[in-house]
A and B are shown apart, each in its own frame.
Chain A
Amino acid sequence: MTTTTQATAVTGAVGTAHTRVEGRDKVTGAARYAGEIPFDELAHGWMVLSTVARGRIRSVETSAVLRMPGVLTVLHHGNAPRVDSDYVGMLGTPDPTAAVFQHERVPHMGWPVALVVAETSEQAREAAEALVVHYEEEPHDVTFSAGHPDAYQVDGFMPAVTEKGDLEAELAASALVVDAEYTTPEEHHNPMEPHAATALWDGGRLEVVDSNQGTAWVASEIANMFSLDPASVRVRSEHVGGGFGSKGLRAHQVAAVMAATGLRRPVRVVMTRRQMFSLAGYRSPTTQRIRLGARADGRLRALDHSSLSLTSTVHEFVEPSAGVARVMYDADAHHTANRVVRLDVPTPTWMRAPGEAPGSFAVEAALDELAEKCGIDPIELRVRNEPETGPVSGLPFSSRNLLACFREGARRFGWADRDPRPGLRRDGRWLLGTGTAAASFGAGAGPSTAAMTAEADGTFTVRINAADIGTGARTALTLVAADALEVAPDRVQVRIGDSDFGPAWIAGGSMGTRSWAWAVTAAAGELRERLALNTGIPPEGITVRSDTTAAIGALAQKERHSFGAQFAEVAVDPATGEVRVRRMLGIFAAGRIVNPLTARGQLVGGMIWGISMALHEEAVRDRASGGHYGADLAGYHVAAHADVPLVEADWVDDPDPDDPVGIKGIGEIGIVGAAAAIANAVWHATGVRHRHLPIRPDRVLSANSAGGSSA
């Protein structure tokens, strides 16, 4: 049921709640995801992953497996076609983990060593499990620690280091100092739909039906890797069961293409949930040291944030946690640095709010500690440290409504009545506490193209290579197009997820809907000009194309971000160590909200990721084997229904002045600061600072017995 469908032309679709245009298909099971499109002669591939953490493959014993029922082929480094991974794609050089079966080296546990293809999935699985691979094992190092001697500074997507002022002098002159180390664990995206791809050659073109966050992106990566004409590769991805940063070019697509090419028939490769823990990317663990020096009134003299993350030996990826303070807080001396260490582990990648999620935990928890030391309310401390311009860049903010978020949040959460002293409130066996934290995430746009057709029947068709990974992008773009065309949303059909629609930005960096909406708006403007000529609409319709590359390139340099204020109330049982979140409220200044119904869900979903990050998620690596303990959804707990209380999200008015629709982006900011708000609330409940996530029961208990901060 839609709430805005009207018979006459209207504007005002943007900003009005609208149920998802594909909602009926999703609640009836009709929506088909990547592994669900039927093909004649489909063969099933099953990946075989290394069982050692470092070494080389001595032999792959294929002969026995090739005799098993239904087995069609076994691909491995000895027989797989060569591919090119020495190129620079849309988002940089590819992770060589996706360039499967190119050499005998094994750089980590769970490295893809073979693909077994068979007539049925059962046959493929049995044969894959029966495949014997002999290795020459070498000693490995998977131990991540703050003092690792091989750590080095690296730029990644932002400069590794920013430095302003004399840090030691300002710290020495500070009335109050916080100096603490914070850690966050290895975390995994775990979208509900495992990565799946079916590859086939059709009329001289390679087609891949896949689950990804950008079909034009993945198509160009595949074309690069297989040295194909980009026009001869088509990637489709209509419905995507979650991504969170993990769904780009990965081993399964490349393996499927290799097998489909060799066998000349469609081949489907689906990752198992356990395989995803080493093949789908993850968020690196971090160790972060924060030093804050303040005047007695809380204003910062010194801010030092140093973060260490890990990466694999085959690809450099930096979790840029130290970037947070470059946007959030100024100080007379302001130093931030991101370092990384290469270990014998899989390659980490972007995961919802890369950098900001772990970085905001450290910065916002440290500020809470400073507020305590200063005897100042945590919100007031942030008010006193609100910068006029970018603390590092000196650039103006496009808009910065952080304090408006705190004011509205404090009012609705009931913050004014809060007694700042910790450990005072009880509800039966539970100790109660409240906490707050700030949030920010970059607001950007990427070049995109769109095609818009005025159909002869009076409807409009939009073709844009957007990806709806659960964000509601398909619906949001329908509303944006409707407003831009001044028609009702039910006259607009938006088609997405097909690389043949042309280049467009990916569903990533909280930039998807903004980037695509810009292209849709531009196309609508041109189409309306064409229609104004009143030449009539031919049977094939009138189609215009837009390209936002120039417009986005012309944007003035500014600090462009969304902001938010997070509030949490927790209950802690000191006898069992259990922490329960009782309620959460997030107020965001995140640009114009296109669809309040889906936006609220997305922001709340991010906050729930914050609950999960604060209390549950932790992938534990075994030093001896180099692999995970419990690499599945039982061993790696993500927040379930019973973990999630009433979580509310809302927003203040904050249209982006430089965006045609006023959008900033909301995909990531919901998680930022959420874990810090919960950790700060746990301190308020118990009087103990928990600087290491997740706040497990054993950590609460051992902190109780130690009588101080947690280890």
Chain B
Amino acid sequence: MAPAPSTYSVITLNINGEKYSLPVDHRTTLLDALREHLDLTGTKKGCDQGQCGACTLLIDGRRAVSCLQLAVAAEGREITTIEGVAEGEQLHPVQQAFLDLDGYQCGYCTPGQICSALGVIEEHAAGWPSAVTDDVRPEAGPPPLSADEIRERMSGNLCRCGAYVSIVQAVAQAAEAQTTEAEAEEAAA
């Protein structure tokens, strides 16, 4: 039975570069819209109240917990979920690093950790300081992306299996690879 018209709307979501039109209950979170309406179950529900980070995805390139976002409020935004991170068969370097370094165990927090890591690498490159950054003056530029910086910036993503050590190594490795690649491109240009 469809909900009453006054309690739902037909919305269009832009997810991983594709447009999806769907009727949603106004109470439906972005997380539930993905999981229960669009069969995009890669984004996980760990607590449904913004405390664990399992549902982290990117909205307009920035990290967000999708359980605290209403689907109707996500119209017109560019949403990237874990399903949109790889380029076809080619894993993103962050995904590859998680796989190679065993940055997970049960895998349930992993999509959120990976999306969060994508955000961390971008935020760091853009010069955003964190709570453990020594010199937060804008002219100081980005601090080195040390293990402590990664731990602080990733702390919104819980991993109950305790894969933190290898997650931090995976994020560091992927960030390093990205920096090296960017420098190589700059040198070539």
- Could you list some 28 contacts between A and B, CB below 8 A? A1-B96, A19-B102, A20-B102, A26-B104, A27-B82, A27-B91, A27-B110, A28-B83, A29-B111, A30-B42, A32-B41, A33-B108, A70-B3, A191-B106, A192-B109, A194-B46, A241-B108, A601-B102, A601-B105, A604-B162, A604-B165, A607-B162, A608-B165, A633-B51, A640-B158, A641-B150, A641-B157, A644-B165
The reply on B22 being an interface residue by CB < 8 A is no
The reply on A326 being an interface residue by CB < 8 A is no
- Please, which residue of chain B has its CB at the minimum distance from the CB of A603? B162
Q: How far is the CA of A24 from the CA of B108 in the complex (A)?
A: 13
Total chain A interface residues with beta-carbon distance under 8 A: 67
Name the segment of A115-123, A147-155, A253-261, A292-300 touching the other chain.
A115-123
- Please, which residue of chain A has its CB at the minimum distance from the CB of B167? A641
Q: How far is the CA of A314 from the CA of B168 in the complex (A)?
A: 44
Which residues of A lie under 8 Å from residue B100 when comparing CB positions? Answer: 1, 19
Q: Are the C-beta atoms of B91 and A28 separated by less than 8 Å?
A: yes
Q: Are the C-beta atoms of B108 and A27 separated by less than 8 Å?
A: no
Specify which of A69, A470, A644, A646 is in contact with B1 (CB 8 Å cutoff): A69
Q: How far is the CA of A471 from the CA of B102 in the complex (A)?
A: 11
Q: Are the C-beta atoms of A29 and B83 separated by less than 8 Å?
A: yes
Q: Are the C-beta atoms of A1 and B162 separated by less than 8 Å?
A: no
Which residues of A lie under 8 Å from residue B155 when comparing CB positions? Answer: 640-642
The reply on A321 being an interface residue by CB < 8 A is no
Which residues of B lie under 8 Å from residue A632 when comparing CB positions? Answer: 47, 49, 51
State whether A121 and B102 are in contact (beta carbons under 8 Å apart), knowing that A69-B1, A609-B162 are contacts in the complex: no
The reply on A478 being an interface residue by CB < 8 A is no
Q: Are the C-beta atoms of B47 and A633 separated by less than 8 Å?
A: yes
Q: Are the C-beta atoms of B151 and A193 separated by less than 8 Å?
A: no
The reply on A219 being an interface residue by CB < 8 A is no
- Please, which residue of chain B has its CB at the minimum distance from the CB of A596? B102
B43 to chain A, nearest CB (A): 7
Which residues of A lie under 8 Å from residue B111 when comparing CB positions? Answer: 27, 29
The reply on A66 being an interface residue by CB < 8 A is no
Q: Are the C-beta atoms of B3 and A241 separated by less than 8 Å?
A: no
Q: Are the C-beta atoms of B99 and A23 separated by less than 8 Å?
A: yes
Residues 31 to 53 of chain B near chain A (Cβ within 8 Å): 32, 35-36, 39-49, 51-52
Specify which of B81, B98, B150, B165 is in contact with A647 (CB 8 Å cutoff): B165
A5 to chain B, nearest CB (A): 14
- Please, which residue of chain B has its CB at the minimum distance from the CB of A23? B99
Q: Are the C-beta atoms of B158 and A193 separated by less than 8 Å?
A: no
Total chain B interface residues with beta-carbon distance under 8 A: 64
B159 to chain A, nearest CB (A): 7
Which residues of A lie under 8 Å from residue B73 when comparing CB positions? Answer: none
The reply on A313 being an interface residue by CB < 8 A is no
- Please, which residue of chain A has its CB at the minimum distance from the CB of B166? A601
Q: Are the C-beta atoms of B151 and A644 separated by less than 8 Å?
A: yes
Q: Are the C-beta atoms of B104 and A192 separated by less than 8 Å?
A: no
Q: Are the C-beta atoms of A605 and B46 separated by less than 8 Å?
A: no
The reply on A289 being an interface residue by CB < 8 A is no
Q: Are the C-beta atoms of B102 and A70 separated by less than 8 Å?
A: no
Q: Are the C-beta atoms of A31 and B99 separated by less than 8 Å?
A: no
Residues 46 to 84 of chain A near chain B (Cβ within 8 Å): 69-70
Q: Are the C-beta atoms of A121 and B49 separated by less than 8 Å?
A: no
The reply on B59 being an interface residue by CB < 8 A is no
Residues 126 to 149 of chain A near chain B (Cβ within 8 Å): 126
Which residues of A lie under 8 Å from residue B106 when comparing CB positions? Answer: 191-193, 239-242, 469-470
